[in-house]
């Protein structure tokens, strides 16, 4: 039996370790976004859980 599963740490490695974790202000779900989302003119992040959009720079 071969155990194959996605390793979250390995996933983050794709982004060169520059992933920023943010928490949804509504459901408190943590999810990774690009550091670019912290830029002043960045588009809002969308929560994968409840699909609420919010500005990353306000949540961190």
The footprint of Zn ion (CB under 5 A) covers: 24, 26-27, 29, 47, 49-50, 52
Compare residues 13 and 43 and give the one whose CB is closer to Zn ion: 43
Compare residues 11 and 26 and give the one whose CB is closer to Zn ion: 26
Compare residues 18 and 29 and give the one whose CB is closer to Zn ion: 29
Q: In terms of Cα–Cα distance, which of 47, 60, 58 is closest to 20?
A: 60
In whole angstroms, the minimum distance from the beta carbon of 47 to Zn ion comes to: 3
Please give the full DSSP string across 4-50, using - where no structure is assigned: ----HHHHHHTTTT--EEEE-TTT--EEEE-GGGGSTTPPPEE-TTT
């Amino acid at each position: 039996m071969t155990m194959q599963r996605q390793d979250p740490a390995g996933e983050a490695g794709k982004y060169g370790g520059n992933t920023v974790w943010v928490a949804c202000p509504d459901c408190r779900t943590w999810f990774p976004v690009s550091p670019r989302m912290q830029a002043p003119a960045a588009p809002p992040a969308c929560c994968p859980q409840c699909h609420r959009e919010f500005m990353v720079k306000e949540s961190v």
